[in-house]
Amino acid sequence: MIILGGSSGNGIDESVAKLLGVRHVKLETTKFPDGEMKVRIPERFDDDTAVIIQSAPYPQERNLFELMFIADDIRERVGNIIAVIPYMAYARQDKSFTQGEAISVNTVLKLLRNSGVGALVVVNPHKSEPLAKFGGTVEIINAVGTLTKKVKESVEKPLIMSPDISGVPMAKAAAEALGCEFTYIEKKRESSTQTTITQTHGGDFNGKDVVIFDDMISTGSTVEPAATFAYAQGARSVSAAAIHLVMVNGALERMRKAGVKRLFGTNTIAFKDAELADISGDVAECISRLTKYKEMKLSTFS
Ligand code: R5P
């Protein structure tokens, strides 16, 4: 087995190779004068399983194409290709929200499959059901435990709060891991950059270090009102923790203004202004499990 690290591997590629004791090669990418990308594997290999590790935050298309160019190029000579996409772009576009809208996640999954990817590994996708359309093996890594350990290192009197109803199971799991209380609020999305709170569900905020726990932070429009609410209820401090720190449109500034003191995330996205937990161990464990499984049931990867 060989690990091929993409330009958006975020160091997970090197660490996973070390943890599994296998060879690691970093992909080389260059640009033609017209902007087209060229990808190259700078070393020869003859392994039967290739694991390509490439996250897909902005620039999403570029990151996905880098992975697919390599997968398609090696598919004839490699028995199994596993694509590890820690942050899976387009996973939220799983239906037509307005009439005529393309369901982008379906296209991305088809392209990956048609590029020869046999197994897809994704960390906490927004929803897992749409990934079933991939047609090959799909493994979902749950990085809540790893993120929670990071939070535990520095938050003294935590109260975990889910900022919306869909995040309740994840936030509850985080609260259980921390051995602390949990509450949630409900939100209405007014626009892609604005949410308002529609319901609250109690909780003892007084003197607590509230941690708003979510799967991702994009514009900060979910965290901002949640933080303001937590302070109004008597929180001593408010932090935010999310698996994927997409962080666009000045999200950090917006959250800071709302009083968010600390920001925790994982290295599925290399956001530098946060305390990041390393998910390499979770990925290594998943690949190890997948490849052992493969020995028993080769057809899974075909
Ligand atoms: C949505 O349901 C997700 O769990 C996140 O709450 C959302 O994607 C965060 O986006 P934003 O930071 O733009 O509010």
CA of 109 to the centre of ligand 1 (A): 22
pLDDT digits (tens, 9 = 90+) for 36-55: 999 999 999 999 999 999 99
pTM for the structure as a whole: 0.94
Which residue stretches of 115-270 are H helix?
A: 144-154, 168-178, 223-232, 251-257
CA of 195 to the centre of ligand 1 (A): 9
Average pLDDT over residues 90-119: 95
Supply the residue whose CA is at minimum distance from atom 10 of ligand 1. 218
In the prediction, which pLDDT does 292 show? 87
pLDDT digits (tens, 9 = 90+) for 270-300: 999 999 999 999 999 999 999 986 654 444 4
| Catalytically active residues, by annotation | 187
Distance CA 3, CA 262 (A): 33
Nearest CA among 248, 251, 244 for reference residue 269: 244
Residue 59's pLDDT band, with cuts at 50, 70 and 90, is very high
Mean of pLDDT over the chain: 95
Distance CA 202, CA 38 (A): 54
Q: What share of the chain in percent tops pLDDT 90? A: 95
Residue 60, class by beta-carbon neighbours within 10 Å (0-12 exposed, 13-18 middle, 19+ buried)?
A: middle
The token duo for 122 is 């994704």
Supply the residue whose CA is at minimum distance from atom 5 of ligand 1. 216
CA of 217 to the centre of ligand 1 (A): 5
E strands, the chain, are: 2-5, 23-26, 28-31, 37-40, 49-53, 80-85, 119-123, 137-141, 158-162, 181-191, 194-200, 209-217, 237-245, 260-266, 275-277
pLDDT at 66 over 80: yes
Which residues are bridge partners to 176 per DSSP? Answer: none
Distance CA 74, CA 202 (A): 55
In the prediction, which pLDDT does 165 show? 97
pLDDT digits (tens, 9 = 90+) for 5-46: 999 999 999 999 999 999 999 999 999 999 999 999 999 999
pLDDT digits (tens, 9 = 90+) for 168-178: 999 999 999 99
Average pLDDT over residues 89-94: 93
Please give all residues whose beta carbon lies within 6 A of any atom in ligand 1, as ranges: 164, 166-167, 195, 214-222
In the prediction, which pLDDT does 147 show? 98
pLDDT digits (tens, 9 = 90+) for 213-229: 999 999 999 999 999 99
